[in-house]
Structure 1
Amino acid sequence: MLSVLPGRLLPGPYRALFADKTFRRLMPVFALSDLGDGMTFVAVVWLAFALGPDGGQGTLAGIAVAAYVLPGALGALLLGRWMRRLPARRLLVIDSTLRAVLLGAIPLVHVAGLLTPAVYVGLLGTSSLLHAWGKAGKYALFAPVLSDEQRLTANSVLSTSLWTATIAGPALAGLLVGVVSPAWIIGADAATFAILAYRTSSTPLPVAAPPPPPPMPGGTQQGLAVLRRHPELLGLLAVTWLFNLAYGPVEVALPLFVSDDLRAGAGLLGAYWAVFGLGAVIGALALGATRRLPLWPAILGIIAGHGIGLLSFAVTDTALPSLLGFAFAGLVYGPYSALSLTLLQERAPAESLTTILAARSAVLLTASPLGATLGGLLLDRTSAPTVLVGCGALMIAVAPVGAGVLRLSQARRPAEKTEQSLHKKPRSEA
């Protein structure tokens, strides 16, 4: 089937991309792994509910979500001295193998009756330790294979695969939880990583050019130092961090809202994530129109709009209002990452962009797991609708805070430079 796609079904630049044998061989296993990760949106939290003590399910769910993400940030910061020297293929294979082994152990330990909360969190956390490096290897793998023009198209396909998995994965997991234990769904995700590791290691690749010398030590600290000299960029980082922190509890509170308030199962939870992902895809596709707006107002409007969507969870007697609200939250969220990165790229000094991006990634990786942990603690003391609506209210509050940050940063720049930044057209329109 794939052999006929380049010539008949795919438009424009995608034909040449899928005509490349290496990309055509690896992309299906990338998509399969993305689907497996999408299923863990439901499975990780649902299994935590089953393992947690009475009255403590929320805490364990928050810790489990944090453990599945946060060690990757630590690995990115602490293991760079060794990992950045490895080629992209090896990074991807090592990360995929580690996740296949440790996530695959979860259903086996569960069947043996030995899966305690501590063991569960330990396996999740250790499995994610190298995942930031694995993602980096995934996006760098095609560098020696594709031309400069094809790389942009390849990144687009990889991103589309992630969003599609956000729609299909939770929905599929919601159906499967009614048939099998969520531990086996995590095991299925492990199997996709095993396939990914095997296919990546066995696929011939062109000889890559020697890797560039490793960055100077302290790259993250250097990037933060540059940000401190640019208040607008530091403010953007702070606003985005608060936005991600406010979002973190949603991943823990939403499953409890479905199970306790709506008295429904994992199928409905999958539907929530599916409509969110569908909304995000539509919002991302509408980015071209959004970019004609001033960037800062669009970013702050997205944060407030996402919060408004979460206010719908105040209605607890039926799922329809919150389903529509969550779809709206996904719709407005879709363009956020691209818009915030565009603002950073337009305002940051060109010579410091790499170090600023490194610092940004390191800082933002801590926000959502911390929010999930705090959300889990709150859920043991209050209701899921209260947490979800509170997250929405916090997001709405972040928007005027961001506007204040913008005014303060503008006060430190010459008036004419301020005027240019507020009304600057995107490069595509210049």
Structure 2
Amino acid sequence: MAPAMFLPYRPVLGQPVLRRLLPGLATSALGDGLALVAVTWLALQLAPAGQRGTWTAFAVAAYTLPGAAGTVLLGRWLGGRSGAQLAGWDATVRAAALGAIPVAHLAGVLDAGLYVALLAVSSLLHPWGSAGRFTLVAELLPQRHHLAANALLGVFGQAATIVGPPLAGVLIAWTGAVWVIALDAASFAVLAVSYGLVVPAVRHEREARHDDTTRHERHEDGPAGPSRISGFRIIWRDRSLLGLLALTVGFFFLFGPFYVAMPVHVTEDMHASAATLAAYYTAFGVGSLLGGLLTGHLRGRPLRTMLAAVVALFGAALLPLGLGAPVVLSLPAFALAGLAWAPYGPTATALFQRRAGTADLPRVLSANGAVTVLAVPLGTMLGGPATAAFGARPTLLACAVAILVLGLVAAVSAARPRPCARPTKRTGPARPYDQPVRSRVPDDRVRPGAL
């Protein structure tokens, strides 16, 4: 059973460059898992009395949101870089900024303001780093293996959400939160070195794929290279990418209120302890890990239909919480929600990899990340007044129903026949597996205007 589970991932593990990167990716994922607890805990320790909630919110926002600004401000300089370069620079910035936190602590100058500022710097290139990681997948692997590769990269993060928080709790009690942040910085330093070591190999791999036929096609079409169009404009011009972005933003936004309503529901409606809340999150993490491993087996399914099914199933799995079901029913349902959540990111990324040429893919994925990173915080901000006005359980129920409806609407859209149109011209260099749409086998065919 276990060997069959990992069968779709063998081609990914067999790719020499990706195989050399996996230890660094796993290490940095564990660092991020530790940071889930350490970032907020250190903010609580540094915040002035009576301002803990405010500074904790600032720290959480600073660790994610500045990347949206980095996408807009740095696009002119970063848009044409290779996937390995982008991911390596992101890891380097994160290692340096996070590493400055324990240094400032040793110097006796670390306060809440400096802490939040360093967290903000650390996240400035994050959308570009994520885009670079998945661009590297598109550069090195045939399209039929993109979904499995995306899922494998996601599995590291899902496993880290299970292992990282309890390990962080032990380490914080032993050494202090600032040194757990130092471990997170060290994990990104390992990742930065890993990317730096494979950049020459990636360049060689890309050059080796440019055979005589590819060179002839590039000569006929004119010079190949990245366009200077921003990722936002590329998405706006492509109905399929615009629809995918709208679905993702809606999905994430509607899930955002759960971060507020869920703890309130557990404590006030269920009269349960923090251990119960932790059990829900652990169940979600276990479900998402299993879902991530299963995602590679979904290759060959229509990706648009898969995304709609994921959203609808996720909404349905959250209904027991909103309906006030007992823990014995709502806990496994929340695990099912985690299982449904896991395939969404790899599948959505696979669609972006199909629609955008490899030269434009970093811009497109970074723009997508800049928008979607705002969706959950905005939903969380809505969750506060909604929970106060209507109560935690009605808020959970409303979000679950809205997500379910969103998935059903997306399913209807996916089932609607689309007229065939001439494929859009790609701006990136051609690859043997990146041929125009008309030459692909039927399973890989993508129509313009399709999600």
What TM-score results when the alignment is normalised by the length of structure 2? 0.67
Partners of 2:47 and 2:387 in 1: how far apart?
13
Go from structure 1 to structure 2 and tell me whether the alpha carbon gap of 1:205 and 1:151 turns closer, same or farther (over 3 Å shift).
Answer: farther
Percent identical:
38
1:283 aligns with 2:291: yes
Gaps of 5+ in 1: 1-9, 415-425
Go from structure 1 to structure 2 and tell me whether the alpha carbon gap of 1:345 and 1:93 turns closer, same or farther (over 3 Å shift).
Answer: closer
1:334 aligns with 2:342: yes
Partners of 2:274 and 2:360 in 1: how far apart?
47
Matches within 5 A, 1:22-421: 23-48=18-43, 60-107=55-102, 109=104, 112=108, 114-116=110-112, 118-140=113-135, 148=142, 152=146, 157-201=152-196, 205-206=200-201, 208=203, 213-227=225-239, 234-251=242-259, 262-264=272-274, 272-287=280-295, 299-313=307-321, 323-340=331-348, 360-375=368-383, 388-389=396-397, 391-399=399-407, 402=410, 406=413
Match of 2:426 in 1: none
Higher mean C-alpha deviation, range 149-158 or range 270-279:
149-158
CA contact (8 A) 2:310 2:344 kept: yes
CA contact (8 A) 1:60 1:376 kept: no
Partners of 2:119 and 2:301 in 1: how far apart?
41
CA drift at 1:299: 3.9
Go from structure 1 to structure 2 and tell me whether the alpha carbon gap of 1:289 and 1:206 turns closer, same or farther (over 3 Å shift).
Answer: closer
Partners of 1:319 and 1:176 in 2: how far apart?
30
Partners of 1:302 and 1:287 in 2: how far apart?
11
CA drift at 1:194: 1.9
CA contact (8 A) 1:253 1:376 kept: yes
Q: Secondary structure at the match of 2:203?
A: coil
Amino acid at match of 1:71: P
Partners of 2:292 and 2:338 in 1: how far apart?
10
Q: Secondary structure at the match of 2:185?
A: helix
Q: What is the root-mean-square deviation of aligned Cα atoms in Å?
A: 4.9
CA drift at 1:72: 1.7
CA contact (8 A) 1:42 1:170 kept: yes
CA drift at 1:244: 0.7
Q: Secondary structure at the match of 2:201?
A: coil
CA drift at 1:134: 2.3
Match of 1:3 in 2: none
CA contact (8 A) 1:375 1:387 kept: yes
Partners of 1:369 and 1:92 in 2: how far apart?
24
Partners of 2:350 and 2:55 in 1: how far apart?
37
Partners of 2:296 and 2:392 in 1: how far apart?
36
Deviation per residue, 1:289-340 (Å, 9 max, x gap): 8789876665444334323444555699996655433212111222333555
Aligned residues: 399
Amino acid at match of 2:92: T
Amino acid at match of 1:169: G
Higher mean C-alpha deviation, range 327-336 or range 299-308:
299-308
Amino acid at match of 1:324: P
CA drift at 1:30: 1.5
Partners of 2:249 and 2:338 in 1: how far apart?
18
CA contact (8 A) 1:262 1:316 kept: no
Higher mean C-alpha deviation, range 332-341 or range 118-127:
332-341
Partners of 1:402 and 1:128 in 2: how far apart?
32
Go from structure 1 to structure 2 and tell me whether the alpha carbon gap of 1:308 and 1:54 turns closer, same or farther (over 3 Å shift).
Answer: farther
Deviation per residue, 1:336-381 (Å, 9 max, x gap): 33555677789x7999996876754443233123334444676788
Higher mean C-alpha deviation, range 369-378 or range 30-39:
369-378
Go from structure 1 to structure 2 and tell me whether the alpha carbon gap of 1:68 and 1:381 turns closer, same or farther (over 3 Å shift).
Answer: farther
Partners of 1:15 and 1:298 in 2: how far apart?
22
Amino acid at match of 1:226: D
Go from structure 1 to structure 2 and tell me whether the alpha carbon gap of 1:317 and 1:106 turns closer, same or farther (over 3 Å shift).
Answer: farther
Partners of 2:171 and 2:324 in 1: how far apart?
25
Gaps of 5+ in 2: 1-5, 208-223, 420-441, 446-451
Deviation per residue, 1:159-198 (Å, 9 max, x gap): 3323322332234334445545444333321121122223
CA contact (8 A) 2:127 2:365 kept: no
CA drift at 1:81: 0.9
Go from structure 1 to structure 2 and tell me whether the alpha carbon gap of 1:396 and 1:52 turns closer, same or farther (over 3 Å shift).
Answer: farther
Partners of 1:284 and 1:390 in 2: how far apart?
27
Amino acid at match of 1:327: A
What TM-score results when the alignment is normalised by the length of structure 1? 0.70
Partners of 2:366 and 2:28 in 1: how far apart?
25
Go from structure 1 to structure 2 and tell me whether the alpha carbon gap of 1:383 and 1:45 turns closer, same or farther (over 3 Å shift).
Answer: farther
Higher mean C-alpha deviation, range 75-84 or range 154-163:
154-163
CA contact (8 A) 1:66 1:372 kept: no
Partners of 2:266 and 2:48 in 1: how far apart?
19
